[in-house]
């Protein structure tokens, strides 16, 4: 029974990883195509559907960690996915005024390259039991540049959206109301920006540790 469950697990994770891989590949292709043909102002409109689907699918990775399908700690997965979902849905989807910003292009290109490599790595590993050394190196090395560019784009877009958030009551709850509770989305965005200050260096350090561990293990093998 355990053997059957193990096979089913590998089949599911292989299908999941390659499905999301193709989603991110579509985002990358459409972003580059639109940049060349129409300019950065139109990138979001071109990639919106695959971007929303591919990024939202990452919620499953939190569930994968919770139920033990993968060994990735939820404490590391949750902040990364949450911040991306916030930028994807809470900023870009919610405030169209920000979609023509040039940082949208650097964001989706940084994200898509990262995820194309990551999902192909895990898809190959689940399907064949291991991944080639060059793909392992890319998986644990490209973040050195792509993580800073992605984070910079995220922070820049949240900051640029602040005037539009402040001028809108979207997602805010004003007093009085039947719940006797108020919520201001503008201040929530400021808190989100504040979290990036300690969160980003911490996550970068965590990934450096993972890189050292993975590459040293690869050399031994």
Active site residue 154: yes
Both structure tokens of 194: 């504040």
- The H-or-E segment that residue 191 falls in is helix 185-220
Both structure tokens of 177: 């109301």
- The H-or-E segment that residue 104 falls in is helix 102-128
Distance from C-alpha of 59 to C-alpha of 203, rounded to nearest angstrom: 19
Residue tagged active-site, from 147, 159, 204, 206? 147
Please provide residue 55's backbone torsions phi and psi, each rounded to the nearest 5 degrees: -70, -40
Check residue 174 and report its DSSP letter: P
Active site residue 147: yes
Residue tagged active-site, from 61, 115, 126, 154? 154
Both structure tokens of 12: 């599911």
Place of tokens 């990024």: 55
Distance from C-alpha of 15 to C-alpha of 157, rounded to nearest angstrom: 33
Q: Would you name the residues annotated as active-site residues? A: 147, 154
């Amino acid at each position: 029974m355990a053997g059957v469950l193990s096979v089913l697990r590998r089949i599911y994770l292989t299908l999941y990883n390659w499905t999301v891989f193709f989603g991110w590949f579509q985002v990358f292709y459409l972003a580059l195509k639109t940049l060349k043909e129409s300019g950065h102002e139109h990138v979001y409109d071109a990639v919106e559907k695959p971007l929303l689907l591919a990024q939202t699918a990452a919620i499953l990775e939190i569930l994968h960690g919770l139920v033990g399908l993968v060994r990735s700690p939820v404490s590391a997965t949750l902040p990364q996915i949450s911040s991306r979902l916030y930028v994807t849905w809470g900023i870009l989807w919610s405030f169209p005024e920000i979609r023509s910003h040039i940082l949208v292009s650097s964001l989706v290109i940084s994200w898509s390259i990262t995820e194309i490599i990551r999902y192909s790595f895990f898809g190959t590993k689940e399907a064949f039991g291991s991944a080639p050394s060059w793909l392992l190196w890319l998986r644990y090395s490209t973040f050195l540049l792509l993580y800073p560019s992605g984070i910079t784009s995220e922070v820049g877009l949240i900051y640029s959206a602040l005037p539009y958030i402040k001028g809108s009551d979207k997602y805010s709850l004003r007093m009085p109301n039947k719940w006797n509770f108020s919520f201001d989305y503008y201040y929530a965005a400021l808190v989100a920006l504040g979290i990036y200050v300690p969160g980003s260096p911490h996550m970068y350090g965590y990934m450096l540790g993972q890189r050292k561990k993975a590459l040293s293990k690869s050399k031994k093998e």
